[in-house]
With several copies, the nearest count.
Chain A
């Protein structure tokens, strides 16, 4: 038993953190809201660093990495609220195409093309306008489409960077790329990646709030010296502490194709959803009115958290999935 990242994994994560701290300040996330594609423009850097192609075979330009390597990186991208289809491409499409021995895995890993993915119960896809491939799954399997071969109807979302489209795929031009088991794995991978990003978002919201309440004074003392504020933030930290291990465990379960991986992923997504939802509430409440303006950065992280806590399966969906496995 050794439940920790390796030094190499931590070094990779730290390098990504350094990159994103430099390249993805909140202003860049804010810009994504008004950029035509809703994205932060970080794709080339993520490709260059090997994040995008992490799970691709070395022969396809990837790093032959595992979900355990990836989960630490996705957590960082959540912390910085990057607006990129990274979960969709790096965590879902690449291993899907890799397992299907599809040569386009190299195009994805090299950043020549980008993919977005809808899980079995999703009606919407994100950032499809700027993607080349659209992958859609249902209970019978997974199909892949050229972007132009599907109907995309844009729908504005609460997180202005997340460009959602209603996805119409009645079209029969898609290629079958995976069977029912692959479709289940698509859901698990998407939920895992989202859960990891939620961990990073949760920590970021806590950190921003701690910094604010240390600085902000009312009644002659820092707001953060009030016990009610302390306890709000302690509760958010508590939720994070008991979400993280289940998300990491789920990463191992997917990497090792553990037969119980779906329940493990769902348990992790439940905890990550709940931690992020609580952190968002606490962050807004402890900030007060300033957190309620879009001039302040908190909303960028809060709205991403709201969106991701419902993406790839909300809390009830995942809790029930666990319930069916254990009851």
Chain B
């Protein structure tokens, strides 16, 4: 085992740190889940792109710099450490791009990826529907073949589409073979949200931001070149655990290390010089949260070493999702406990913790509820019987 970064990785870290220190906005940007905030975040994303930091692990021809997985981790640690803005492009970069890399045609890659990296085209995800949440195979929105026009006509409704009210395009699954059973007969489409027949209705989230949208599709035309993978093969395309070689299926440890560090700062700022500084119960909980953030970091390093050796992500990803999502809730709960009655406030600089708590509560729900993830761990990692 060698737990040190190489000189060139350290140099890369220094470079990232310096650039971020010089460029991260001094004042936090307005929430990226509002129209004005989204625009402000896109400006930031474009600066990031211009400096070569938008998608460090992508190949240069698509806007990246071909960074290794270790360099990607270093970048992420520095990014969160610097308190840099939330990435409003992340659903494209983390969820769509890996699939485009694996299943896209050369034309699709060239058309989609550079614009995504440059944040000139933004993407949201169209998976869930009113009757297809945890049970994604329950999708009812459909695509009807239009041979004459060389494409498909989409009908139906997508829901819980994060930042759908602000994005340009949506990737989503639609049922194209109504006679096929559940997981079969779905196709992966790339939809222009400005196209005729699309109606986007913003939906307010817990924290008051319009971070969700419902997307209604009524006879929306999508050309064949905007089908990703083969028609009726959308489930396999969407579910393939792809992109791990670019870190894109990993949830960056930097995020939780930075939150733990901010929590410790909060503790000192509120408790130092008071008797709370010696409150063992509080200290124990903060310490454990920090240990857990460290555990997450080292578990990631362990996994990345395997990925570098050529392994692919498997059901272990469910353990990772369980851990970070529940850690994130604990970190924010602790902060609110530190804040006491101030936790009720939604203005002032400390309110970011209250907002962060509400955001953290979505972690155990989205991308497969934690109940489903525990089933996956039990069935696929431990081998317990499904029935």
Contacts and interface: CB of A to CB of B under 8 A. Distances in A.
A adjacent to B, CB under 8 Å: yes
Contacts of B239: none
* Residue among B206, B286, B387 facing the most chain A CB atoms (10 A cut-off): B206
Contact of A327 (B286, B343, B383): B286
B9 to A, nearest CB: 8
* Residue among A1, A218, A238 facing the most chain B CB atoms (10 A cut-off): A1
A164 B345 contact: yes
B283 interface: yes
A327 B319 contact: no
B101 interface: no
Interface majority SS (helix, strand, loop, mixed), chain B:
helix
B15 interface: no
Contact of A245 (B267, B299, B309): B299
Interface string B313-335: 00010010011000000000000
B365 A241 contact: no
Nearest to B280: A320
Contacts of A289: 128, 133, 159-160, 212, 362, 365-366
Given A245-B299, A289-B366, A314-B340, A1 B3 contact: yes
A297 interface: no
A252 B1 contact: yes
Contacts of A322: 287, 290-291
Contact of A210 (B128, B291, B361, B384): B384
A155 interface: yes
A225 B208 contact: no
A323 B282 CA distance: 10
Contacts of A292: 160, 205-206, 212, 361-362, 365
A150 B134 CA distance: 52
Given A214-B383, A225-B385, A294-B206, A238 B377 contact: yes
B365 A252 contact: no
Interface string A227-255: 11111011101100111111011011000
Given A234-B377, A237-B381, A327-B286, A310 B341 contact: yes
Chain B interface: which size bin? Answer: 35 or more
Contacts of A127: none
B378 interface: yes
Nearest to A312: B341
A252 B1 CA distance: 7
Contact of B306 (A4, A310, A320): A4
A259 interface: no
Contacts of A285: 364-365, 369-371
Contacts of A241: 299, 316, 319, 323
B382 interface: yes
A32 to B, nearest CB: 15
Interface string B333-356: 000110011111111100000100
Interface string A143-158: 0000000000001111
A279 interface: no
Given A288-B134, A323-B284, A245 B344 contact: no
Interface in A130-164: 155-159, 162, 164
Contacts of A271: 291, 295
A214 B291 contact: no
A213 B135 CA distance: 14
Given A241-B316, A241-B319, A156 B294 contact: no
B279 to A, nearest CB: 8
Contacts of A162: 344
A251 B387 CA distance: 41
A223 B70 CA distance: 41
Given A237-B377, A288-B369, A323-B284, A225 B387 contact: yes
B344 A310 contact: yes
B3 A3 contact: yes
Given A235-B374, A319-B287, A326-B264, A246 B382 contact: no
Interface majority SS (helix, strand, loop, mixed), chain A:
helix
A291 to B, nearest CB: 8
Contacts of A249: 3, 298
A68 B6 CA distance: 20
Nearest to B323: A242
A301 interface: no
B319 A156 contact: no
Contact of B382 (A159, A237, A281): A237
Nearest to A225: B385
Interface string A274-293: 00000001001100110011
Interface string A297-327: 0010000001100110010100110110011
A243 B323 CA distance: 12
Contact of A326 (B287, B296, B322, B374): B287
A218 B133 contact: yes
A179 interface: no
Contact of A319 (B288, B296, B305, B343): B288
Interface in A186-221: 206, 210, 213-214, 217-219, 221
Nearest to B209: A294
A210 B381 CA distance: 11
B321 to A, nearest CB: 10
A171 interface: no
A230 B364 CA distance: 17
B291 A270 contact: yes
B379 interface: yes
Interface string A38-70: 000000000000000000000000000000100
A3 B301 contact: yes
Q: Name the 6 nearest CB pairs between A and B, nearest first.
A: A230-B378, A245-B298, A218-B135, A323-B287, A234-B377, A234-B374
Given A158-B346, A292-B206, 10 more contacts: A1-B5, A4-B306, A224-B384, A233-B382, A246-B291, A271-B295, A288-B134, A310-B336, A326-B290, A327-B267
15 contacts: A3-B302, A158-B343, A158-B344, A234-B374, A237-B319, A241-B316, A241-B319, A289-B159, A289-B366, A292-B361, A293-B206, A294-B205, A310-B340, A323-B286, A326-B290
